[in-house]
Amino acid sequence: MTSKSLFVAEIRARLIEMRTLTFFNHAGGVMKSSLTRDVGYTLSQAGLRVLVVDLDPQANLTDWLGVSGVTREQTVYTTATSGDPLPSPTAVHGLHLIPSDVSLALAEGQMMGVVGAHLHLRQALQAVSDQYDVTLIDSPPSLGQLSILGALAADHLIVPVPTRQKGMNALAGLSEAMATYRKLRPDLTVALYVPTLYDARRSHDREAYAALQGMLRPLASPIPDRGAVWNDSASAGQPVGLYAPGSPVHQDVLRATAEIAAASRLEVTIPGGKA
């Protein structure tokens, strides 16, 4: 590397700090994994170096990126339980993925007996912060140890909230969880609440969305409920932008990514996205 290249690299390192965003909600089926996958892919296509971390033992994010045959050693298991460095990631669709497997569930019990375990992932990510511009974490649908691990690793939380009674009911638990996490991380913030599974034809959805507008700040534009393409892309193991480029769902993803990037102060332009 030339002296000029080294100088540029040093300037980049000083000016660009890796952001860590955790997609968080203790309710399941709210689009955490879908958004982690598709926002991550979109950011990588826009030129960012993206790491995605699957903390859910159900491993939907891993499956929906087409990765299989994962061993426990490839997951964050020893990072969570022993504070080890992150395992080598898997390269897939322009992303770097630290995958998950059902065996990661064993970490829940082991973390409880380790002082400081909840900060292990944050510390491990700091060690690779020069390698990535953004890390996206898919947290489990629970308020267990792995969810705490993911929340405390974040600079910001991204909270998907379905425009259903289920989403409204989850808000009290989310508020309590945030109050607890801020005792350890006073700087932890929710960068954006994202209404999901929205169907404007249903009066219930319209009413729920109106209620969210009155309760939550900042609030993104709602993501419409277009289940077929999301489900088919998951079965194909491909992000929507690869599986159905230019589709209405892809346009939804571009808009959501632009809004998340703006709320998280990521220096990136999303082609076709309007924040």
Residue 7 burial (CB < 10 Å; 0-12/13-18/19+)?
Answer: exposed
**Amino acid at position 6, single letter:** L
Model confidence pLDDT, tens digit, residues 182-217:
988 999 999 999 999 999 999 999 999 999 999 999
| pLDDT at residue 164, as a whole number | 86
Is 275 domain-assigned? no
Residue 91 burial (CB < 10 Å; 0-12/13-18/19+)?
Answer: exposed
| pLDDT at residue 231, as a whole number | 95
Sign of CA dihedral 223, 159, 24, 131: positive
Is 12 domain-assigned? no
Model confidence pLDDT, tens digit, residues 58-90:
999 999 999 999 999 999 999 999 999 999 999
Is 274 domain-assigned? no
CATH number at residue 250: 3.40.50.300
pTM for the structure as a whole: 0.91
Give the DSSP H/E element, type plus range, for residue 160: strand 156-162
Map tokens 């990072």 to a residue: 79
Is 3 domain-assigned? no
Question: Both tokens of residue 213?
Answer: 């507008």
| pLDDT at residue 16, as a whole number | 54
Is 271 domain-assigned? no
Residue-range definition of the domain harbouring residue 179: 17-264
| pLDDT at residue 165, as a whole number | 82
Is 211 domain-assigned? yes
| pLDDT at residue 256, as a whole number | 97
Give the residue ranges of the chain where pLDDT is below 70.
1-16, 273-275
C-alpha torsion angle, residues 265, 267, 270, 271 (rounded to 10): 150
| pLDDT at residue 125, as a whole number | 98
Answer for the pair 73, 87: CB distance below 8 angstroms, yes or no. yes
- How many domains is the chain partitioned into structurally? 1
Is 56 domain-assigned? yes
Is 269 domain-assigned? no
What are the angstrom distances between the C-alpha of 273 and each of 1, 70, 257? 35, 34, 7
